[in-house]
Structure 1
Amino acid sequence: MRTVRVAIYTRVSTEDQAKEGFSLEAQRERLEAYCLARDWSVAARYIDEGHSGRNIRRPAYQKMMAERDHWDALLVIKMDRIHRNSRNFMEMMENLQEWGKDFVSASESLDTSTAMGRFVMDIIQRIAQLESEQIGERVKMGMTQKARVGPGILGFHPPLGYDVTEGRLVPIEAEAEVVREMFDLCLSGRTLEETAAELNANGLRTKLGTSWAPIKVYRILHNPVYAGFLRWDGIVRKADHDPLVAVETFNEAQERLRSRALLSTAHAPPILLEA
């Protein structure tokens, strides 16, 4: 029978150091005794001192994962020694499963090399998934309420023509001129292709510094933020930021967009706003 090679992982954060039983030495002694009792071989010891378990930016943790070919099972004293973030924990477990590695928590009798351990881990994964989905539902409910009544923006990156200051959209005049020029070109009868070509010929770029394409022009002309409105998940409401174009200008641009074939990559048809 092949001897199981074990990676012993111990961690202590600053807040744990004063707690009895959390010392690195105490963890190491108990884990080595656990290996001896199960006739396992200690392949390597990985120690993170003074590092939080809420993220994976830990030198010993990263080294352990990089050296996974040297061990068969990962052993910790408790699950919270390896992760205090459920999402990170589940991602680690998925990686270990993909790599054919086992996870063992000595004090919690969790061993994925056994049928019972895999059953318990499946339950833990389902609970974590349920928690994640419930959080997502609550966030969407809150965002929907904010979208309907405000105040403020909904956490998106500022669009061309604006920056975000203290939670409000504030115009950037140099970028705002580009937006106004796009609406002017649209109202003068230029196609999306012609507008994109003219902007590129004039050396004008997107918010990210890239060249213009017809779909990018469409999204600017279709975005009610430029007329002083905010849109989220089908909800459109009047906002408190300064518009870059009048509602009438925006609506006229929408009428012109309606008369043209909708781009296959566009997410929604043009909309009309009420002043």
Structure 2
Amino acid sequence: MSEKPAAGHYTRVSTEDQGRSGLGLEAQRRDIDIFLSNFSEEPWEVIGEFQDVLSGKNDDRPQLAAALKMVREAGAELLIAKLDRLSRKVSFIANIMEDKKVRLRVASMPFADNFQLHIYAALAEQEREFISKRTKAALQIAKEKGVKLGGLRDKTMKRNEAIQQKAKREAEKVMKIIGPLRQSGQTLATIAGTLNDMEVATSRGGQWTPMQVKRALERAGG
């Protein structure tokens, strides 16, 4: 077994999460990378990466089940970016924390213990319930005043669709450069350097790294 502390990281996203800051896959991976680079006394060895794409209300997650199985068998820690990426239900989170073979770590709260995580989960669930009731009350008042509902949602959906289409076009454009370079045997680091030399920015307008090149290839199926 490696002398480095081992971790398996898990990310989850649903269709509605894609447009939310801090919940998309790129944001989750960023938080995990920050944790691995800055909040460990010694380097970690990532022995598995797991990802589910489904509803936050659905606890039947095959990749989470696989991640839990791996960390139990390897004695590794389960690393997630944010607590609600594991679940939005306190009961679900509590069951995992009670498993003596599972050590849970949250990248965005690197020094929180299980007790603190449990309290945070309970408060977050309570806040979501309050927001839900507040939203329903506001909609009811608007309905009673004769306000037509649904227009804002339609605009939001159109805006999100436009964002997704733009991201797709940008990905297709950059793959015209990355694809041939990779096929010619170039390393991820070399490809990242070439993109930066060509002043091709990432989707967020930043510099390319080997990890970002790898993710671009994975999204393109290469």
Q: Which bin holds the TM-score, normalised by the shorter protein?
A: 0.3 to 0.5
Higher RCO (CA-CA < 8 Å; seq separation 6+): 2
TM-score by length of 1: 0.38
TM-score by length of 2: 0.47
The answer to which structure has the higher helix fraction is 2
- Whichever of the two has the greater Rg, that structure is 1
